């Protein structure tokens, strides 16, 4: 795929430039990425405008969708797919943040941490580079505080905030065992009193704090006068408002209004799951799609009806029982005689079509995620921070691999950024 923009770390003016380019792209093509194939039947609104593309995608197999899922931009599909793919790919280019050499930590530090999580923590810690050495790390939504301990091993005090008491207590024990002087505090970071936990000398770090958990940090840390912070967000859709509340003036001025469903798009990339898990996921979705056809008939309403997530044991039920029980759960009329085999087959056919149609939405996953990150970056810029945005690990290590580094440096000239930066 040709690209004219080399992957670069976004900072200074490029933050706003990229935000504006993404904003235009997402607004112009919202009719293509907003509607979710899963809920639209028999066709998506854009299909009349692009019948060749729709027919081509609908004719592909489930295996095809699976193979193309992680790299939809490489697909040779009819127009406008390749053109959109090239644009989306170019707008999503982002450089890797420079990493300091690996720290040699005693093996005990990682003994309690799953392999992939440890790789993320290691990559996050090595990507932190600040002008001034952090004195006091604040691990925000810390879990057991593995990240904070790794950072504090290199120097500085450590406070970990976490609201799950078991994780707080395990974290405290681990810190004690590993000789790290850390304070693990049970704190709901969304509660009013969370503001008391932030002080100007803190350097907050947040690895994969969901939606509001990390946006709250950005607000509280900038108010508290923290000079540096580092955030790798995830789960943008975990918010308590009905729609997205932009943080920066630029995003507030944008025409782009995002629903909770829209915010789920960047998270819809599935990382390599095992064959059994994939099969289970497919079966569950095929059944839901089949049930959707049935419920339209039972209700006499040609509209999607959301259904709750069901225990995995439901997949062991014969398909007819599954439908009857789900109809009862949704208080729908009891289904009469049906050709269950045919209905189940229709569910699988719909699944293949839905998955392939989703490849078009998939082109917009990364652009939307980057738009959201840039909203955070621009907000921090407005609060007087110098911000850098880049990747900190591979997508295989985590699809949520974007990291925001922010530092207030009133006393330093901005052109010193690249030459004099130290890593901590």
Residues that bind ligand SAM (CB under 6 A): 117, 141-143, 146-147, 162-164, 167, 188-190, 207-209, 213
Contact of 145 with 175, CB cutoff 8 Å: yes
DSSP annotation of 17 reads: H
CB of 244 to ligand SAM, least distance (A): 19
Helical segments of 102-164, H only: 115-126, 146-153
Closer residue to ligand SAM (CB): 190 or 328 = 190
Closer residue to ligand SAM (CB): 72 or 143 = 143
Closer residue to ligand SAM (CB): 191 or 329 = 191
CB of 187 to ligand SAM, least distance (A): 6
Contact of 3 with 93, CB cutoff 8 Å: yes
SS3 content of the chain, % helix, strand, coil (to 5): 50, 10, 40
CA-CA-CA-CA dihedral for 233, 238, 244, 248, to nearest 10: -30
Closer residue to ligand SAM (CB): 184 or 408 = 184
CB of 111 to ligand SAM, least distance (A): 15
CB of 194 to ligand SAM, least distance (A): 8
224 by Cβ neighbours in 10 Å (0-12 / 13-18 / 19+) ranks as: middle
| Closest listed residue to residue 341, CA positions, set 282, 290, 289, 299 | 290
Give the number of residues written for the chain: 424
CB of 121 to ligand SAM, least distance (A): 7
Structure tokens at 239: 């918010």
Closer residue to ligand SAM (CB): 84 or 174 = 174
Closer residue to ligand SAM (CB): 163 or 304 = 163
Closer residue to ligand SAM (CB): 149 or 408 = 149
The helices-and-strands tally (H runs, E runs) of the chain is 16, 10
- Residue 162's φ and ψ, nearest 5 degrees, are -160, 145
DSSP annotation of 13 reads: H
CB of 148 to ligand SAM, least distance (A): 9
Report in angstroms the alpha-carbon separations of 225 from 228, 314, 404, 414.
Answer: 9, 52, 17, 19
CB of 393 to ligand SAM, least distance (A): 12
Map residue 154 onto helix, strand or coil: coil
CB of 372 to ligand SAM, least distance (A): 17
């Amino acid at each position: 795929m040709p690209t004219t923009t080399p992957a670069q770390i976004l900072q200074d003016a490029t933050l706003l430039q990229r935000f504006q380019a993404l904003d235009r792209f997402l607004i112009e093509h919202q009719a293509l990425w907003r509607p979710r194939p899963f809920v639209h039947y028999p066709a998506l609104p854009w299909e009349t405008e692009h019948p060749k593309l729709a027919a081509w995608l609908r004719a592909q197999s489930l295996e095809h969708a699976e193979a193309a899922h992680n790299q939809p931009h490489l697909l040779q599909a009819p127009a406008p797919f390749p053109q959109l793919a090239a644009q989306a790919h170019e707008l999503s280019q982002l450089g890797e943040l420079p990493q300091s050499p690996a720290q040699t930590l005693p093996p005990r530090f990682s003994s309690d941490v799953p392999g992939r999580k440890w790789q993320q923590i290691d990559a996050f810690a090595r990507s932190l580079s600040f002008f001034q050495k952090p004195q006091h790390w604040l691990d925000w939504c810390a879990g057991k505080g593995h990240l904070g301990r790794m950072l504090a091993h290199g120097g500085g005090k450590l406070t970990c905030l976490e609201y799950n008491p078991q994780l707080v207590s395990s974290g405290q024990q681990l810190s004690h065992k590993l000789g790290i002087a850390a304070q693990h505090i049970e704190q709901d970071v969304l509660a009013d009193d969370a503001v008391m936990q932030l002080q100007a000398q803190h350097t907050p770090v947040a690895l994969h704090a969901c939606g509001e958990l990390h946006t709250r940090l950005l607000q509280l840390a900038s108010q508290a006068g923290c000079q540096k912070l580092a955030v790798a967000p995830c789960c943008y859709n975990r918010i308590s408002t009905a729609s997205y509340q932009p943080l920066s003036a630029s995003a507030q001025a944008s025409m782009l209004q995002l629903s909770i469903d829209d915010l789920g798009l960047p998270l819809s990339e599935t990382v390599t799951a095992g064959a059994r898990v994939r099969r289970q996921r497919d079966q569950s979705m095929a059944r839901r799609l089949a049930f959707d056809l049935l419920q339209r008939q039972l209700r006499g309403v040609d509209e999607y009806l959301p259904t709750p997530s069901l225990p995995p044991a439901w997949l062991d039920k014969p398909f007819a029982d599954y439908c009857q029980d789900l109809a009862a759960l949704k208080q729908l009329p009891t289904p009469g005689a049906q050709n269950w085999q045919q209905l189940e087959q229709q569910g699988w056919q719909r699944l293949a079509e839905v998955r392939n149609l989703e490849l078009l939405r998939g082109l917009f996953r990364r652009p939307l995620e980057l738009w959201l990150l840039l909203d955070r970056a621009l907000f921090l810029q407005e609060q007087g921070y110098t911000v850098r945005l880049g990747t900190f690990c591979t997508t295989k290590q985590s699809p949520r691999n974007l990291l925001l580094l922010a530092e207030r440096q009133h006393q330093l000239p901005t052109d010193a950024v690249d030459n004099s930066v130290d890593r901590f």
